[in-house]
């Protein structure tokens, strides 16, 4: 009855414009400051191309999963099971390519002949998609909160991984397989410029990560599907009453999450030349941290993939920089935790000024 009729803000003032711009780039500014600090503190060693690519390579596994997680969190959901999906997908890929779940440790002398690398990659991704489909179906059809379903998934798929591998790792892949994790596109001019002893180049995982980041960005920013994702996260009821199939959209993000976790599982196993049953334990926290640091709201409807990429970079840079500065790993954990909170607090502060 007594509704206050809000006064229209006829114009956005210059100050608001500035904070709006700042709001979009808050994580980027944070990252930039961190890089400068580390560059100075390490007397430039941090910016050595070898180190830069090293950081990027480490970031790409968490980064790939964080892209998928961005879709999930944008709808207001969560997926705690990503580390386990990564492990089970990596293990399936290893079994497919080696044709056995025995840890032969032999590169090319094994008696059993496995399938090709392409088949292994496909298998990993299919496993991820299947798991995501199962999670999404339980969440949407039975109405059980995503937190609960994926918390269950976290232990279920870890258990499946352990069964598949008899608890141990499956190691020793052919070079084609390893290329997906260890290979790089060489940049001779850069190698020459810094007179490095080993060839310098862009690691394959980094290329995969950036490729999918661009693809995901286009999906979320320029397609109808992307608009629908934001709408579902922004207001589920309004989305439904606008004719969106909220259930199908919700299901789709868990499938996308599974795709990325499966892909990440394959890449990680190729990089380590080993599929570990314990791979990715606890990685859901890094993944969620990357998304949240990147400015995506845990309530859904707000955020983007660019922020997530920056968030993942921020965590990678932080860990690498602290290691280079010989900060004890105990203290590292404290610093990383504080930075996560600070980054999000900064982001929230900037956004609250916009309102």
Which residues of this protein are in contact with another protein, per CB under 8 A? 1-12, 222-225, 227-228, 230-231, 234-235, 237-245, 297, 301-302, 354-355
Taking the complex as a whole, how short is the minimal distance between the CB of residue 68 and another protein, in angstroms? 19
Q: Which residues contact 244 (CB under 8 A, 6 or more apart)?
A: 228, 231, 232
Taking the complex as a whole, how short is the minimal distance between the CB of residue 197 and another protein, in angstroms? 47
Asked if 289 and 315 touch (Cβ cutoff 8 Å), the reply is yes
Asked if 268 and 261 touch (Cβ cutoff 8 Å), the reply is no
Asked if 336 and 282 touch (Cβ cutoff 8 Å), the reply is no
The residue among 228 and 271 lying less far from another protein, judged by its C-beta, is: 228
Please say whether the dihedral angle defined by the alpha carbons of residues 171, 176, 181 and 184, taken in this order, is positive or negative.
positive
| Tokens describing residue 270 | 């190729």
The residue among 61 and 220 lying less far from another protein, judged by its C-beta, is: 220
| Tokens describing residue 319 | 């860990």
The residue among 143 and 282 lying less far from another protein, judged by its C-beta, is: 143
DSSP H or E stretch at residue 12: none
CA distance 134 to 142: 11
Tally of CB atoms within 10 A around 329 = 9
The residue among 11 and 326 lying less far from another protein, judged by its C-beta, is: 11
Taking the complex as a whole, how short is the minimal distance between the CB of residue 24 and another protein, in angstroms? 12
The residue among 119 and 223 lying less far from another protein, judged by its C-beta, is: 223
Taking the complex as a whole, how short is the minimal distance between the CB of residue 311 and another protein, in angstroms? 19
Residue among 321, 328, 330 nearest 41 (CA): 321
The residue among 122 and 244 lying less far from another protein, judged by its C-beta, is: 244
The residue among 23 and 181 lying less far from another protein, judged by its C-beta, is: 23
CA distance 129 to 147: 18
DSSP helix/strand/coil, 229: helix
Asked if 149 and 140 touch (Cβ cutoff 8 Å), the reply is no
Taking the complex as a whole, how short is the minimal distance between the CB of residue 18 and another protein, in angstroms? 15
Taking the complex as a whole, how short is the minimal distance between the CB of residue 302 and another protein, in angstroms? 5
Taking the complex as a whole, how short is the minimal distance between the CB of residue 340 and another protein, in angstroms? 22
């Amino acid at each position: 009855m007594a509704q206050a009729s809000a006064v229209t803000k006829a114009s956005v003032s210059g100050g608001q414009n500035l904070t709006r711009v700042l709001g979009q780039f808050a994580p980027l500014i944070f990252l930039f400051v961190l890089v400068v600090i580390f560059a100075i503190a390490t007397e430039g060693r941090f910016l050595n191309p070898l180190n830069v690519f090293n950081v990027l390579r480490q970031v790409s596994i968490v980064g790939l999963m964080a892209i998928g997680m961005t879709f999930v969190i944008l709808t207001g959901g969560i997926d705690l099971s990503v580390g386990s999906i990564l492990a089970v997908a990596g293990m399936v890929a290893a079994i497919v390519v080696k044709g056995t779940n025995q840890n032969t440790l032999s590169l090319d002398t094994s008696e059993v002949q496995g399938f090709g690398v392409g088949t292994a990659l496909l298998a990993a991704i299919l496993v991820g998609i299947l798991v995501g489909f199962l999670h999404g179906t339980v969440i949407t059809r039975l109405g059980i909160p995503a937190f609960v379903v994926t918390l269950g998934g976290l232990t279920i798929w870890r258990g499946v991984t352990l069964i598949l591998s008899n608890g141990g790792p499956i190691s020793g892949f052919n070079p084609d397989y390893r290329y997906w994790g260890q290979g790089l596109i060489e940049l001779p001019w850069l190698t020459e410029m810094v007179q490095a002893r080993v060839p310098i180049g862009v690691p394959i995982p980094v290329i995969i990560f950036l490729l999918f980041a661009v693809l995901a960005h286009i999906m979320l920013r320029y397609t109808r599907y992307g608009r629908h994702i934001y709408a579902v996260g922004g207001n589920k009821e309004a989305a439904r009453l606008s004719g969106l199939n909220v259930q199908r959209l919700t299901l789709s993000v868990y499938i996308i999450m599974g795709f990325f976790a499966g892909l990440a599982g394959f890449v990680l196993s190729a990089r380590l030349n080993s599929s570990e049953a314990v791979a990715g334990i606890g990685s859901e926290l890094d993944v969620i941290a990357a998304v949240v640091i990147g400015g995506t709201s845990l309530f859904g409807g707000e955020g983007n993939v660019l922020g997530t990429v920056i968030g993942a970079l921020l965590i990678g840079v932080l860990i690498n920089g602290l290691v280079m500065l010989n900060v004890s790993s105990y203290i590292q954990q404290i610093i990383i935790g504080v930075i996560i909170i600070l980054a999000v607090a900064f982001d929230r502060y900037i956004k609250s000024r916009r309102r």
